[in-house]
Each structure stands twice: as C-alpha cells, then as structure tokens.
A and B are shown apart, each in its own frame.
Chain A
Amino acid sequence: MEKSWMPIRIIFFICSRVRIPKEVLVLSKAGNTVSLPPPKKTGILSRYWKYRSLVMLFLPAILYYILFKYLPIFGVQIAFKKYMFRLGIWGSPWVGFENFEKLFAMNSFWEVLRNTFMISGLKLLFGFPAPILLALLLNEIRNVVFKRVVQTISYLPHFLSWVILSGIFIQFLSPSIGPINIFIKAMGGRPIYFLGEEEWFRSVLVITHIWKSVGWGTIVYLAALTGINPEYYEAAYIDGATRWHCARYITLPSLAPVITIMLIFAVGGIIEDDFNQIYNLYSEAVYSVGDVLSTYTYRRGLVKMDYGFASAVDLFKNVIAFVLIVSTNKIANRINDYGIW
C-alpha cells in the first residue's frame, strides 16, 4: 500500500516546485538570456524543473489516472470487506478472505467460470483464423474498387453497438418472424428459438462475434501484407510458381510473425468476456450456458448490491487476467518487437 502511494507524493512535490518561482518564469520569457537559477535539488528533480513546461502538460493526465484508474484499484479492498453503505469503501469492516471462501464454495461460480472459458475458447478457435483467411482471400482480389467495397461493408458491423446488434438479432433470429425460422418452417422444420435454447446460445455468441469482428480484424493482416517485398513474387514466378504456391510459401509465412503475436494476445485475453455482447443477448433461460464472469459480477454486485462478494469475483478475474496479459506480453516482446509498449 505504502509503495503504491508513491506517485502521488511525487506529484505533490512537483506541483509545489513548479508553482513557486512563477515570476522567474515571466522574467525569462521577457527576453533575458540569463539562465534560470537552478533549483537546489539535483538529479531527477532538476530535470523536472528544467522541463517544467512539458511536465505541466502532463499534470491533468496524472490527476485523471489517479482519480479514475488508481482510486478504483484501491477500492478493490472491498473484496476483503463487508460493505456497508453507511461506512463506504474505506470505513467498512475487514472480513479477510470471507468473500472468496463464499465464492469458491458456490457452484454457480464454477459454472460461470466454465462458461467464460468455454465461450472465449470457442471464439478463439473459430474467430481467430477467420480474419486471417479473409485477409488472404481479399489479398487475391485484384479489382481495387471491388476490394474496397467488400472491405467497407465488412467493417461496418464493428461500429454498431451490441445494443443495436442485439436489437437486430433478436428480430432476425426470432422463432416467429425471423427469416431463418420462416425458412425452416417453409421446409417443414420446427422453428428454433436460437437465443433461448441452451444448445444454441453459445453458437449464436460465436457466430455473431465473428460476424461483427471478422472484417475489422483483417486490417492488421492486410497492413502486414503490404509490407511484403514484391520481388519475392517475381522471383517465385520466374521459378514457375503458381498463385497457390505464392500464397502458401510467401504470403502465409510472411504473416506468421503477426499471426503469432495476435494469437499470443488472444490467448492472454481468454478470461476476458464480452459483457456488451452477452448482457444484451442473454436471458434467464440460457444462464446455465451463457452466464459469464462479468455478467455474474454485474448481477451479484449492482443488481443484488452484494458489493463485497461481486468485487471478489472481479478481483479474482482481474488477477488472472493481469498474470495472463503480462506473461503473454513478455513472450510477445521476446519473439519480436511488437509488444504494446
């Protein structure tokens, strides 16, 4: 705890250092060439002083991150507390690991955890190769206008919210008026309630996820494709290679580093679920297959107001996610210079 408050102390110190000698600042702007009296402190603080006009620009960001990012991180302590509205986050009594014991003893928690991994795993299995395949196919289209039209259309769903999309899919997949079920009925079949049947719900999640993200997902691969040296293709042609050979032995291997990195990140995010998608598509009938950590946290915490318990779920997930992301990012950084920072 002590260590984490360090940045704030530093900031206060910088603030005070920057503010005091304002007149000096004005003087120097007035055109005198005499260098400013150097502050007594040496090393890092004198650097802060020297570049104060740059540091000033950054102050709002420091305030923002402390208030809206780090303060909630300190609020995580309510996972170890019995939350009482009257006493707030800081004043509520500590209960140690009680919330976690309750959590791990609950069958519904393990079901939710299993659903989270199942849905993310299925999305990874089918959703990860989809944009790669599409990018490779798009790459083979030589009519620039046609290609651009296809790209524009396939990016569109990325910009629509899950509220809108579930509004669309609820009607589209409806057992009574949806075109798919009208077709099934016309063929003499029994209509399927895709969003309300346990055996269909996960498939709907995976397919709608791919539908929304496949086009946009091609961008990173298409960008990588433009970096391939065209001489490779010319050389291959001289050696008598066909288009298939080129795709298989030049294009795909050139994408391999990007694919590896994207895969590592995708695996790193496997415990993350898509709250927006699932919350807007699910219903009580499919909780047993569709309820995931974030929706569970939401219902336990913000609907039933069991803040301590829900924060424990949150913290459990965030710790695992943190370990996954940091370790996968390390791996990615080692493989090539493509980490996030």
Chain B
Amino acid sequence: MQRRFIKPTPGSRLFDIFNHLFMVLLCLAMIYPIFYLAMLSLTASDVPLTKGYLIPPHVSLENYAQVMSNHYIGYGFVNAVRRTLVGTAFSVAMMLLTAYPLSKKYFPGRRFWTGFVVFTMFFSGGMIPTYLTNSQVLGLDGSFWVLILPGLINTYNMLIARNFFMGLPEELTESGRIDGAGELRILLALILPVSLPIIATLALWSAVSHWNAWFDSMLYFSDPKQQVLQLVLRRIVLEGSDDMMNLGSAADEMTTVNPETIKAATTMVATIPIVLVYPFVQKYFVKGMVVGSLKG
C-alpha cells in the first residue's frame, strides 16, 4: 500500500509501533512451539525436562541417532517419499488433463460434465462407503496404488487449473488447430509451456497433501513396514507404541534414554523436510491462490 502521502500524526506513529510489536509477537507465537520441539529433540538424556529453559544446557544429537537407527522410521520415510513423488506426478498430469477440456467453450456437454465433477465436491459417499469400495469392490487393500488413485484429482484444485486455462488467450490454441494438431498436441506443446505457474502450484499442493497424508496408510495397510512416515510418527508419538519406538534393542545399554526427547526428534524428522523446502516454494502457493481465483 502506497500511502506515504498521509502525514504521520502521533496517534498514527503509536499505532505503527504497536502494530509492529504485535506482528513480532505473532511470529514468536507461530515459531515458538516448533522451536521448543526442536530444542527438546536436541536435549541430552541427562537433562531434567521439568525445569524450563530456552536452549537445553546439554545439547546432543543422541535422539536423532536413536531415531535414525529405527527401521520403521526409515521405511516410513522411503514410503512417504515414494508416494509423494509418484502421487504428485500422476495427480498433476490427471488434473491438467481434466481441467483442459473443461476450460474449452466448445467441449461437448461442458455444463453437464462440470456438474458431474462439481457434484462430488458437495456430496461424497463418506468414510465407510469409500473404504468399502476401495478395499472390497476395487480390491485396492494393501496395494501401493490405494495411496495414489483415490486422491488423483482434487476437484477444487482442478477447477482452479481450469480457471487458469480459461484465462489464456484463445488465439494460442487457434493457431495449433489451424495447423491440424490434435488437442493433446495443443495441450502439450502450446498450453503447458505457458502454464508453469499453475503446474507448480498444483504440484506443490499435491506434494504437501501426500507428504502429510496418514489416514489412508492406516486404513489399508497392516504391515508396519508399508506405512508412511506420518503414521509411524503417530504410532510413536501419539499412541506411545514402544515396539515402534524401537527402544528394545537399545534399552540394555541406554537405560537413560528419554521417551519424550525421542518423540520430539521423531516429530522433527517429519517436520524438517517441509520447513526446509517451504521458504523457497511459498510464493508459488500464494501465486496459485491468486492466479486461479478468476471465475469462469
């Protein structure tokens, strides 16, 4: 907001001071719980936790060493990365493929098909029928694809991509059509190169939701080696599962190991990838929100 032309009054200055102060406090409130957990995860096992401190008096990486030696976390990490990569690739391709026809005025039955798609945003089968369909009718129980296929299209995001396509000039595809190119060619060669912002946004949204997903992994997989990181985290941190925490092997020599700091380190292992990537990709999320909000 360019409003420097307004003469600052004392009241206005006072407001600015409090406003900035408020923002700093807000940021601290956002950061502190995460910071606290990071510090807890770095606390050595001989530090009493019931005394307050900002930075632990004895910092150590032993909790991370413990977490890294846990096979379940290793499997969980690999499973999560795998589903994120495969799921994002398939989802983005599928959403673009769906959004493009819906963005074309001449797509036959466009109103009907839009309704066909939008209806599922308003009415869904619900948790139980969805579970029964996926596991028993479609037979996806225990298959890797159960993590990918049911969530291929996020209808809302797909419609945002459609709105983006609708904002592109019609001449772009006209030229392709005159050259006799099929719609797939037009999409790949003419539309995609100018759609990178929306592709990035779709990919990031999809990747975040895959990385954060755990419920499907819990429903469809019983083997702990096939579960994703978030679920392993849930089992260890929330359900306090000792055998998944894998203390058994280390318990003999490390009787002093502290379950609270181990839990903190486990949580951090799932948090760090997001916190590391987030600052670099944040602007694409916001851009996508703004870019796609044009209504068709």
List A residues at the B interface (Cβ < 8 Å). 7, 29, 44, 47-48, 50-51, 53-58, 60-62, 64-65, 67-76, 78, 88-89, 134, 137-142, 146, 149-150, 152-157, 159-161, 163-164, 166-172, 174, 176-177, 179, 182-183, 186, 211, 215, 219-220, 223, 225, 230, 233-234, 237, 242-244, 246, 275-276, 280, 294, 297-298, 301-302, 307, 310-311, 314-315, 317-318, 321-322, 325-326, 337-341
Give residues of chain B (111-134) contacting chain A, Cβ–Cβ below 8 Å.
113-114, 116-118, 120-134
Please tell me which one of the listed residues A76, A142, A182, A311 contacts residue B4 in the complex, with CB atoms under 8 A apart. A142
Count of B interface residues, CB-CB < 8 Å: 106
> Judging by beta carbons under 8 Å apart, are A311 and B295 in contact?
no
Rounded to whole angstroms, the CA-CA distance of A89 and B133 in the bound complex is 8
Which of A150, A164, A315 lies in contact with B270, CB distance below 8 A? A164
B58 at the interface (CB under 8 A from A): no
A273, B122: Cα distance in complex, Å: 15
Q: Are A155 and B267 in contact (CB under 8 A)?
A: no
CA distance A171 to B286 in the complex (A): 31
Q: Offer 14 A-B interface pairs, CB within 8 angstroms, sorted by A.
A: A50-B108, A72-B134, A78-B129, A88-B137, A89-B133, A150-B26, A161-B213, A164-B212, A167-B237, A168-B36, A170-B237, A211-B30, A243-B15, A302-B131
> Given contacts A233-B3, A307-B132, is CB(A57)–CB(B101) below 8 Å?
yes
In this assembly, does B55 line the interface, its C-beta being within 8 Å of a C-beta of chain A? no
Residues of B within 8 A of A (CB): 1-6, 9, 11-12, 15-16, 19-20, 22-23, 26-27, 29-31, 33-34, 36-37, 40, 49-52, 94, 97-98, 100-102, 104, 106-109, 113-114, 116-118, 120-134, 136-138, 149-150, 152-153, 156, 159, 180, 182-184, 187, 208, 211-215, 219, 230-231, 233-234, 237-238, 260, 263-264, 266-267, 270-271, 274-275, 278-279, 282, 285-286, 289-290, 293, 295-296
Option from A47, A61, A73, A340 in Cβ contact (under 8 Å) with B153: A61
Contact B37 A172 (CB under 8 A): yes
Closest to B270 in A: A164
Are the C-beta atoms of B94 and A64 separated by less than 8 Å? yes
Q: A64-B152, A164-B267, A338-B295 are in contact. Are A294 and B233 (CB under 8 A)?
A: no
Q: Is the beta-carbon distance between B183 and A57 smaller than 8 angstroms?
A: yes
C-alpha gap A141/B255 in the complex (Å): 53
Counting chain B CB atoms within 10 Å of each CB, the highest count among A62, A157, A179, A244 belongs to: A179
Residue with the highest number of chain B CB atoms closer than 10 Å, among A47, A48, A168: A168
A267 to B208, CA, bound (A): 27
Complex interface: chain A residues within 8 A of B9 (CB): 242
Select which of B31, B40, B98, B138 is within 8 A of A61 by beta carbon.
Answer: B98
A169 to B237, CA, bound (A): 11
Q: Tell me the smallest distance from the CB of A48 to a CB of chain B, in Å.
A: 5
Task: Provide the bound-state CA to CA distance between A154 and B282, in Å.
Answer: 11
Contact B230 A72 (CB under 8 A): no
Given contacts A57-B97, A58-B107, A71-B137, contact A76 B5 (CB under 8 A): no
**Which residue of chain B is the closest to A31 with respect to CB atoms?**
B180
CA distance A315 to B267 in the complex (A): 35
Residues of B within 8 A of A314 (CB): 125-129
Residue numbers in A under 8 Å from B138 (CB-CB) = 67, 71
Instruction: Please tell me if the beta carbons of A159 and B278 are within 8 angstroms of each other in the complex.
Output: yes
Residue on A with the closest CB to B120?
A: A69
Cross-chain contact B116 with A65 (CB below 8 angstroms): yes
Task: Please report the C-alpha to C-alpha distance between residue A275 and residue B26 in the assembled complex, in whole angstroms.
Answer: 26
Given that A65-B120, A88-B136 are known contacts, is A177 also in contact with B50, CB under 8 Å in the complex? yes
Q: Considering the chains assembled together, what is the distance between the CA atoms of A50 and B177 in angstroms?
A: 13
CB distance from A169 to the nearest CB of B (A): 7
Say which residue of B3, B12, B26, B121 sits within 8 Å of A340 (CB atoms). Answer: B121
**A215 B30 Cβ-Cβ under 8 A:** yes
A219 to chain B: closest CB distance in Å? Answer: 5
Contact flag A75-B107 (CB < 8 Å), given A160-B274, A337-B295 = no
- Alpha-carbon gap, A250 to B41, bound state (A): 48
Q: Determine whether the beta carbon of B127 is less than 8 Å from that of A322.
A: no
Q: Which of B1, B104, B237, B274 has the most CB of A within 10 A?
A: B1
6 more A-B contacts (CB under 8 A) besides A51-B108, A163-B230, A176-B49? A71-B137, A89-B137, A155-B286, A169-B33, A301-B127, A322-B123
Beta-carbon contact of B132 and A78 below 8 Å:
yes
The chain A residue with its CB closest to the CB of B237 is: A167
A70 neighbours in B (Cβ, 8 Å) = 120
The answer to whether A220 and B50 have CB atoms under 8 Å apart is: no
Q: Which B residues lie within 8 Å of A318 (CB)?
A: 123-124, 126
Residues of B within 8 A of A172 (CB): 33, 36-37
The CA of A298 and the CA of B289, in the complex, are separated in Å by 32
Interchain nearest-CB distance for A305 vs B (Å): 10
Bound: A258/B144 CA distance, A: 41
Closest to B180 in A: A29
- Are A44's CB and B51's CB within 8 A? no
Indicate which residue in A155, A242, A243, A310 contacts B128 across the interface (CB closer than 8 Å): A310
Partner of A140 from the list B15, B52, B296 (CB cut-off 8 Å) is B15
| Least CB distance, B216 to chain A, in whole angstroms | 12
In the complex with contacts A160-B271, A163-B233, A243-B15, A237-B260 CB distance below 8 A:
no
**What separation, in Å, do the CA atoms of A276 and B127 have in the docked complex?**
13
Q: Does B219 lie within 8 Å of A219, measured CB to CB?
A: no
A298 touches B33 (CB 8 A): no
B123 and A141 within 8 A (CB): no
Chain A residues with Cβ below 8 Å from B94 are 60-61, 64
Q: Which residue of A lies closest to B101 (CB)?
A: A58
User: In the complex, are the beta carbons of B114 and A341 less than 8 A apart?
Assistant: yes
Residues of B within 8 A of A54 (CB): 101, 104, 106-107, 183
Q: Which residues of A contact B286 (CB under 8 A)?
A: 155, 219
Contact partners of A154 in chain B: CB under 8 A: 26-27, 30
Q: Which residues of B contact A315 (CB under 8 A)?
A: 126
